[in-house]
């Protein structure tokens, strides 16, 4: 009986121009959104490739210069250009790049990619390199976000579900066909399940097939590591999210209201769950845990730098007193002495600015914790977080990338700084020892992707189960309302 109802429902929907319009709009939205996401991903990959080439070229050039200098083939350049000076290597000639490789389904969600960089260049300069990467971005994109497939799924897909479901029972009741249909040996729950299943297959099938085609046409490597897993997780999230909205549609329909009232009710529910609740949570997090101004942090850093510059000699002396194992055997003068003093000044600036940065990060972490704790109040937040996670553009992955940048910066500064204060030259044999990027943190985050998506999916399933139980409780009243 269920199969017959599904087939019949397909025929009814096919005869309705609304379905063709909805499916056409869905395919068009997927195509446009994926085109935007694919262009962004292509730009990211091209930028990362260039950064890695520049990094390799920089190391090769440094090695060649040191070999030529040690072999006497070239004269020693001025101190501020000398490749054997650790301060010069740490500032420019030997800086190292660390990149965040896009995930296989990066084109499906730009996510945090508009806000955070996909690469950073680590040097001995003061400041967090994660936030110092130069980028030029359209301010409107940063304000409103880009139009990508995740936006289509989270915000527009529910509207499409409501468009083909708001009159699922009410329209037949108004036309007088529902009462006639229920005179047949059909269970109400089977009837409603068939109508929901027909719409579920049409929407999820249309979205999934158009997305796979779009991914294939833009060259997504499904054979790459994790691509099939990510695609299956993406389909799982979309399916559960669609099911949630279909159950809401069914619940509103069985109440016996008119089609116009159903449409208004469903539109209100969509507005509250996708816009009002997320906005309220964001405002609450901002009010409870305000993040210090970045201008304030920059001001503290500037003041600390100016004060430290004035006390350079005393700061260097205090540095050697705290780290006697790093002090050179004899006093260092000239460019090397200036480099050591500059390094001590930078270390003092880092020490002064660290508490401000820590406060900034602590408040931001509290905001994130609050949003994550209450994200279960909005299915839109759950679905969006899961889709961004699958695409590799979520906050968790970018925070892991920032940790990788920080780890590299610590080891890089330790490597260079030790040689600066000890007045040790950089030799050709030291180039390979310069700390380079490692992706262990991001790899560990990628390995837990399925678990994170499972939590959000469960967060969508639980209210769906509650809706289903409530629907079963209200189903007996459908026959009475159909006769009335």
Give the pLDDT band of residue 263 (cuts 50, 70, 90): very high
Q: Look at residue 320 in the predicted model and tell me its pLDDT.
A: 65
Asked whether residue 417 falls in the same domain as residue 435, the answer is yes
Does position 317 have pLDDT exceeding 80, yes or no?
A: no
Query: Which secondary structure element, helix H or strand E, spans residue 96, and what is its range?
Result: strand 96-99
Q: Are 86 and 108 in contact (CB under 8 A)?
A: no
pLDDT digits (tens, 9 = 90+) for 138-196: 444 444 457 889 999 999 999 999 988 888 888 888 877 777 777 777 788 888 888 89
Does position 439 have pLDDT exceeding 70, yes or no?
A: no
Lowest-confidence region among 91-100, 233-242, 318-327, 362-371: 318-327
pLDDT digits (tens, 9 = 90+) for 386-395: 999 999 999 8
Asked whether residue 354 falls in the same domain as residue 413, the answer is yes
pTM score, two decimals? 0.87
Rounded alpha-carbon distances, angstroms, from residue 412 to 67, 125, 406: 22, 11, 10
Residue 142: inside a domain: no
Asked whether residue 170 falls in the same domain as residue 213, the answer is yes
Q: Residue 219: which region, alpha, beta or left (left: phi > 0; alpha: psi -120 to 50)?
A: left
Residue 43: inside a domain: no
Does position 304 have pLDDT exceeding 90, yes or no?
A: no
Residue 320: inside a domain: yes
Residue 96: inside a domain: yes
Q: Look at residue 143 in the predicted model and tell me its pLDDT.
A: 44
Residue 337: inside a domain: yes
Q: Return the closest-CA partner of residue 150 out of 474, 386, 377, 419.
A: 386
Q: Look at residue 330 in the predicted model and tell me its pLDDT.
A: 58
User: Which of 284-293, 304-313, 390-399 has maximum average pLDDT?
Assistant: 390-399
User: Which of 3-7, 257-261, 312-316, 455-459 has maximum average pLDDT?
Assistant: 455-459
Asked whether residue 155 falls in the same domain as residue 117, the answer is no
Give the pLDDT band of residue 356 (cuts 50, 70, 90): confident
> What is the average per-residue pLDDT within 208-218?
88
Residue 161: inside a domain: yes
Give dist(CA 432, CA 426) in Å, integer.
11
pLDDT digits (tens, 9 = 90+) for 106-138: 999 988 887 788 898 998 887 777 766 555 444
pLDDT digits (tens, 9 = 90+) for 66-78: 998 888 888 878 8
Asked whether residue 384 falls in the same domain as residue 294, the answer is yes
Asked whether residue 113 falls in the same domain as residue 191, the answer is no
Q: Look at residue 310 in the predicted model and tell me its pLDDT.
A: 65
Residue 52: inside a domain: no
Give dist(CA 149, CA 108) in Å, integer.
5
Q: Look at residue 53 in the predicted model and tell me its pLDDT.
A: 94
Give dist(CA 92, CA 340) in Å, integer.
17
Q: Look at residue 177 in the predicted model and tell me its pLDDT.
A: 76
Asked whether residue 430 falls in the same domain as residue 470, the answer is no
Query: Which secondary structure element, helix H or strand E, spans residue 363, and what is its range?
Result: helix 334-374
List the domain range (segments joined by +) for residue 475. 2-34+150-286+461-483
Of the two residues 116 and 105, the one the predictor is more confident about is 105
Number of folded domains that form the chain: 2
Give dist(CA 21, CA 281) in Å, integer.
35
Asked whether residue 133 falls in the same domain as residue 158, the answer is no
pLDDT digits (tens, 9 = 90+) for 319-352: 666 666 566 655 555 777 777 777 777 777 777 7
Does position 360 have pLDDT exceeding 50, yes or no?
A: yes
Q: Look at residue 78 in the predicted model and tell me its pLDDT.
A: 82
DSSP state of 273: I
Give dist(CA 382, CA 365) in Å, integer.
18
Residue 422: inside a domain: yes
Non-local (6+) Cβ contacts of 412 within 8 A are 90, 96, 122, 123, 124, 434, 435
Q: Look at residue 281 in the predicted model and tell me its pLDDT.
A: 93
């Amino acid at each position: 009986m269920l199969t017959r109802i599904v087939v019949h429902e397909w025929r009814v929907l096919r005869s309705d121009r609304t379905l063709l319009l909805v499916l056409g709009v869905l395919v068009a939205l997927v195509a446009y959104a994926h085109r935007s996401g694919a262009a962004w991903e292509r730009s990211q990959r091209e930028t990362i490739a260039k950064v890695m080439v520049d990094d390799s070229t920089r190391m090769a050039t440094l090695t060649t210069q040191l070999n030529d200098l040690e072999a006497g083939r070239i004269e020693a350049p001025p101190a501020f250009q000398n490749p054997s000076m650790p301060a010069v290597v740490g500032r420019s000639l030997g800086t190292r790049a660390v990149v965040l490789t896009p995930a296989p389904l990066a084109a499906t969600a730009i996510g945090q990619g508009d806000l955070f960089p996909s690469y950073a260049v680590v040097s001995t300069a003061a400041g967090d390199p994660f936030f110092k990467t130069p980028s030029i971005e359209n301010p409107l994109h940063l304000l409103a976000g880009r139009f990508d497939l995740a936006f289509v799924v989270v915000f527009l897909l529910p509207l499409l579900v409501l468009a083909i479901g708001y009159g699922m029972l009410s329209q037949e009741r108004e036309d007088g066909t529902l009462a006639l249909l229920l005179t047949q040996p059909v269970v109400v729950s089977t009837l409603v399940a068939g109508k929901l299943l027909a719409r579920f297959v049409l929407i999820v099938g249309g979205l999934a097939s158009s997305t796979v085609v779009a991914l294939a046409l833009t060259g997504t490597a499904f054979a790459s590591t994790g691509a099939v897993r990510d695609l299956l997780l993406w389909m799982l999230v979309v399916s559960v999210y669609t099911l949630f909205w279909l159950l809401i549609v069914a619940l509103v329909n069985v109440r016996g209201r008119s089609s116009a009232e159903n449409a208004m009710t469903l539109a209100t529910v969509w507005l509250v769950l996708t816009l009002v609740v997320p906005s309220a949570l964001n405002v609450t997090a901002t009010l409870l845990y305000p993040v210090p101004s970045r201008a304030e942090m920059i001001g503290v850093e500037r003041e600390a730098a100016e004060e430290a510059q004035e006390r350079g000699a005393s700061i260097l002396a205090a540095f050697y007193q705290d780290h006697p194992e790093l002090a050179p055997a004899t006093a260092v003068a000239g460019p090397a002495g200036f480099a050591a003093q500059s390094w001590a000044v930078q270390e003092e600036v880092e020490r002064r600015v660290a508490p401000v940065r820590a406060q900034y990060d602590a408040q931001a972490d509290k905001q994130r914790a609050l949003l994550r704790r209450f994200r279960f109040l909005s299915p839109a937040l759950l679905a969006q977080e899961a889709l961004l996670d699958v695409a590799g553009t979520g906050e968790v992955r970018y925070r892991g990338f920032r940790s990788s940048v920080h780890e590299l910066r610590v080891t890089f500064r330790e490597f260079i700084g030790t040689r600066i204060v000890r007045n040790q030259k950089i030799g050709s044999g030291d180039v390979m020892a310069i700390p380079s990027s490692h992706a262990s943190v991001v790899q560990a985050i990628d390995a837990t992707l399925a678990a994170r998506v499972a939590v959000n999916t469960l967060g969508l399933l639980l209210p769906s189960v509650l809706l289903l139980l409530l629907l079963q409780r209200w189903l007996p009243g459908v026959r009475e309302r159909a006769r009335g």
